[in-house]
């Protein structure tokens, strides 16, 4: 179990050490909870940090059950095996998809900084979340980032379900994690402190210029964010 997202980010950064020397490295956190994890990863690896917008699509009667996800640029992933079990069609999800699309647009406006977003073409992109249960959200992010023509996409998270890890290995160039428990449950189960990350905390991570690594010495290449 991780103490919090910051500690989880530091542990994850250890597994990503091979990417530290890549001059074209970019780290993208999935808001909100993935951003503090991504901040620590970017700090240790000396890479620029940005956010990438993705929203989970929950089942109408069970909003915590992820049946798909949407991402910036219009990418959408639906888990038809789960939808079939729940006797749901894409039309049944229309109100949920529209609500999540509006929230995605709101967050895009809220998290845009004066420097704009990072260029992804030809870059090695590490997509970071605080935990991956079904993999739908991250898969939508991978599909959307592909449209920007990066050289490589790496999925990274402190904790990943084994099934999600296998599925993501088919769509990403690399999948990196600290633990992949067989009995996954909810992401919050693997954190002592799993309080919700606020919009203000996301914006603060994007504008910080200091690296607060607790057990790592930041790379000399670390840049102000």
Q: What is the pTM of this model?
A: 0.82
Say what the pLDDT of residue 189 is. Answer: 95
Q: What is the 3-state secondary structure (H, E, C) of the chain?
A: CECCHHHHHHHHHHHCHHHCCCCCEEEEECCCCHHHHHHHHHHHHCCCEEECCEEEEEECCEEEEEEEEEECCCCEEECHHHHHHCCCCCHHHHHHHHHHHHHHHHHHHHHCCCCCCCCCCCCEEEEECCCECCCHHHHHHHHHHHCCCCCEEEEEEEEECHHHHHHHCCCCCEEEEEECCCCCCCHHHHECCCCCCCHHHHHHHHHCCCCCCCCCCCCCCCCCC
For residue 225, what pLDDT is reported? 26
pLDDT of res. 115: 56
Q: Which CATH number fits domain 5-207: 3.30.70.1560, 3.40.50.2020, 3.40.50.150, 3.90.380.10?
A: 3.40.50.2020
Each residue's pLDDT expressed in tens, for the chain with a length of 225 residues: 899 999 999 999 999 999 998 999 999 999 889 999 999 999 999 999 999 988 889 899 888 777 888 887 777 888 888 889 989 998 999 999 999 999 988 888 888 765 567 889 999 999 999 999 989 889 889 988 988 899 999 999 999 999 999 999 999 999 999 999 989 989 999 999 999 999 888 888 888 744 543 333 333 333 222
pLDDT of 216: 32
Q: Give the residue extent of every domain in the chain.
A: 5-207
């Amino acid at each position: 179990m991780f103490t919090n997202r910051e500690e989880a980010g530091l542990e994850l950064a250890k597994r990503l050490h091979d990417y530290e020397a890549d001059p074209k490295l970019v780290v993208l956190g999935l808001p909100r909870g993935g951003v503090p994890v991504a901040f620590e990863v970017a700090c240790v690896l000396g890479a620029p940090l940005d956010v990438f917008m993705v929203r989970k699509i929950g089942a109408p009667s069970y909003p915590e059950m992820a049946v798909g996800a949407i991402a910036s640029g219009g990418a959408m992933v639906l888990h038809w095996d789960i939808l079939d079990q729940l006797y749901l069609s894409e039309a049944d999800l229309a109100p949920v998809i529209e609500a999540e699309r509006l929230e995605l647009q709101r967050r895009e406006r809220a998290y845009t900084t004066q420097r704009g977003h990072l260029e992804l073409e030809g870059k090695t992109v590490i997509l970071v979340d605080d935990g991956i249960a079904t993999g739908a959200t991250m898969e939508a992010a991978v599909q959307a980032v592909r449209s920007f023509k990066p050289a490589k996409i790496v999925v990274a998270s402190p904790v990943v379900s084994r099934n999600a890890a296998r599925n993501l290995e088919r769509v990403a160039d690399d999948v990196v994690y600290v633990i992949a428990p067989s009995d996954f449950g909810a992401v919050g189960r693997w954190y002592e402190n799993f309080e919700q990350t606020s919009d203000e905390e996301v914006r603060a991570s994007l504008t910080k210029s200091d690296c607060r690594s607790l057990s790592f010495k930041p790379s000399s290449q670390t840049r102000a964010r």
